[in-house]
Structure 1
Amino acid sequence: MFVLAVIRSAEGHRRIYNVLDFHAAGDGKTDDAKAFLATWNAACSDGGNEPVMAIPRGRAFLLSQVSFDGPCKSPIKIKLDGKIVAPKVIWTKKQGNLLTFFDVDHLTLDGNGEIDGQGAIWWDCYNKKSCCVHVIQLLGFARCNNLVVRRIHLKDSADKHMTLFQCSQSLVDNVSITAPADSPNTDGITVSSSNNTYISNCSIQTGDDCVSVLSNTKNVTVTHSRCGPGHGISVGSLGKSETAMVEQITVSNCSFFGTMTGVRIKSWQGGKGYAKGFIFESLNMTEVQYPIVIDQFYCPQGNCPTKPGGVAISDAKFINIQGTSTEQDAVKLMCSQSVHCEGIYLSNIHLSWMNHTSPTNAEILNAHGTTEGMLVPQYCSPTLSSY
């Protein structure tokens, strides 16, 4: 009781709900899902001063598909200092997340701990096309407003590492995400149908997009973060089966290392809707294949039929971007004949072709806008005029 009293005092009289007190084994072998749910239910029903669900360091907790549901009676904090591991088998044939937080407002997930998806067995199954399903994501937040995720480490998800869906006012800060460069579909952070998302000071190394922004999303900022390996920071793909609506996306003060693209907006032919209000500023590219991309012909499988129409892309600013590309076409602004890109602005771009003396190129199609300041590569497009 004395120890508990000290902990309460240190936490500002918060009640601490330790998963070990709810019979979690923490041996990395026993499924602790029931113990975690019991701990969550106790903390979530506490109407006091931000109760804490504690996952202690020095233990590994095996979990299989757990959903932590709200609403809770007060703001709630999860202190993750230990390690959570997924089963090291193909443990389900159903779509889902290893951990889901649903309808929980004022949630904080913080700590020095790790969530390990043990994804290698899934990647092998996916590559061999022998899996019935490959959409087991590691950590999902749905309808969680005023969310804070800070400091934790995510590792080797079977699919996407963290998803935000229908969330408002989210902060993801100082989170690290790692997976091998050849791991399939292992996006770092995916934001969908959400608004007011701020991602800062993160380090993301994956086999797919470091950050991806999907439709029905507004006001996302990614800043002071590191991406690579991976596919870069992407908006889209948009318009395949829904009317796209994306606006006010800012990526600033970020570094990219060995990625497929740097910053990219991608949409399918024949799509509907819009994507507007982009600022890509103060970015450093190191050995990036294509540092700047707008692609209204997105077709990852190849051989897509030509379709009229497209997602209207407008008001995209690329400012103070420097570094090296591994391809000569360092800038690709490829927009459709039927729905041109409008309001493109390029200023102070300096991208050199790695290990070559020849200059980089810019490939531009149906993109309208203005340029200013130093521009390498040079832009010889009749639709982009300089001040």
Structure 2
Amino acid sequence: MERNMQRQQFADHAHPWRKDILAERDQLDGGIVAPNVIWTTTAANLLTFYSVDNLTVEGSGQIDGNGAIWWACFKQKLLSFSSCNNLLVRNIHLRDSPDKHMTLHRCSQVNVYNVSVTAPGDSPNTDGITMSISDHVYISSCSIQSGDDCVSILSGTTDVNITDSTCGPGHGISVGSLGCDGSTSLVERITVSNCTFSRTMTGVRIKSWQGGRGSANGFLFKNLKMNEVQHPIDIDQFYCPPGNCQPQDGAVAISDARFINIQGTSSDPEAIKIMCSKSVQCRGIYLDNVNLSCSGHTAQTRATILNAYGTIAGMVKPEVRFLGT
């Protein structure tokens, strides 16, 4: 890795928020490979950048986490950025992380461009890009194949734009989970556009636990292609991976979520799931020009809607009925 200080004119694809600045630049043209034996049993990251502003990490190289030997404990993340502002990551390849491949925590003004992530579809918790308490994050032209969320957007995150990227295998692009153990969560202004999902568990998803507090609002999911996705549209205020959660009142309030021009196929007849709490109903859900058919089945696709208010425009298939309609 070469390190040098230089003034860098970002290319045309760089995020419009970024400026000409004196930048720290890390060039990765070779490979970084994790040891093929477990060297620690505590949580750790293979490579961490902490509190480095105006940082560029780029190159044609690869970071390989040798993930398989770690998946029994999956405590080690591959590439972590914490408290880094004006960050550019481009052209690198991440492979077989023990846990999440790239994490952004307390970062602002981030551009991730042309980054690829590769991990088996059955590898545990190998999210592609996970962000928390971050803002103004722009992800474009990325290819993510993983065993969990391609992109995961956690609490405290605002102003995210994901575009021109592919996802699959994996669990889709997810907001949450939010509100775990009664916590208060906030997510605002998330846009996912011009992306393709192939054989993922969900396409675009908002997931929260019962009993949480706070809000998640200002979503735009637009111009998305679904190829054999199990549930292309999924809002779930009853998120419970263990499967035995006790019913609770309260939930993270989900509102202003727009789904526009979403086309393709689902692998399950239940193509649309919008499951909301009776005590904190979902509001402002908007569907326009949605056409989802069931691949490999003679059954028609269907939508399951619970405690949600919304609006339909244009053709929407399967048929959706909101409260009050």
RMSD: 1.4
How far the C-alpha of 1:75 sits from its partner, in A, is 1.9
Identity value in percent? 62
Question: Is 1:90 aligned to residue 38 of structure 2?
Answer: yes
- The corresponding residue for 1:203 is 143
Contact kept? 2:308, 2:323, Cα under 8 Å: no
> Matches of 1:333 and 1:193 in 2, distance apart?
26
Q: Which residue of 1 aligns with 2:67?
A: 119
Partner of 2:248: 307
Of structures 1 and 2, the larger Rg is shown by 1
What letter matches 1:85 in structure 2? V
In structure 2, the gaps of 5 or more residues are: 9-20
Give the equivalent residue in structure 2 for 1:149: 89
Deviation at 1:249, TM superposition (A): 0.3
- Looking at structure 2, the residues matched to 221 and 307 of structure 1 have their Cα atoms a distance apart, in angstroms, of 33
Aligned residues: 312
Stretches (4+) displaced over 2 A = 48-51, 380-383
* Mapped pair 1:239 → 2:179: yes
Task: Please give the per-residue CA displacement for 1:26-78, whole angstroms capped at 9, x wherever unaligned.
Answer: xxxxxxxxxxxxxx6xx5xxxx5359xxxxxxxxxxxxxxxxxxxxx952101
What is the SS of the residue equivalent to 1:371? strand
**What letter corresponds to residue 361 of structure 1 in structure 2?**
R
- Quick check: 1:380 aligned with 2:321? yes
Q: Find the counterpart in structure 1 of residue 129 from structure 2.
A: 189
* Cα distance per residue 1:152-195 (max 9 Å; x no partner): 00000000000000000000000000000000000000011000
CA distance in 1, matches of 2:141, 2:251: 34
The match for 1:285 is: 226
Q: Which residue of 1 aligns with 2:163?
A: 223
Q: Deviations over 1:98-153 (max 9, x none)?
A: 00000000000010000000001012xx1xxxx4xx32100000000000000000
Say which of 36, 54, 57 aligns to 1:106. Answer: 54
TM-score under structure 2 normalisation?
Answer: 0.93
CA distance in 1, matches of 2:322, 2:23: 54
Within 5 Å, which residues of 2 pair with 1:132-147? Answer: 134-147=74-87
Q: Distance in 1 between matches of 2:299 and 2:35?
A: 51
Range moving further from structure 2, 211-220 or 87-96:
87-96
More strand by share: 2
CA gap of 1:49–1:381, structure 2 versus 1, over 3 A, is closer
What does residue 152 of structure 2 align with? 212
8 A contact 1:50–1:77 mirrored in 2: no
Q: Determine the structure 1 residue equivalent to 2:235.
A: 294
1:274-315, Cα deviation, whole Å (9 max, x unpaired): 000000000000000000000000001101000110000000
Q: Quick one: which of 49, 64, 67 aligns to 2:6?
A: 49
Of 351, 355, 366, the match for 2:296: 355
What 5-or-longer segments of structure 1 have no aligned partner? 1-16, 19-39, 52-72
What amino acid is the match of 1:252?
Answer: S
- Residue 100 of structure 2 aligns with an amino acid whose one-letter code is K
In 2, the alpha carbon distance for the partners of 1:180 and 1:49 equals 38
Q: Which has the higher helix share?
A: 1
1:203-248 superposed Cα distances (whole Å, 9 cap, x missing partner)? 0000000000000000001000000000000000000043101000
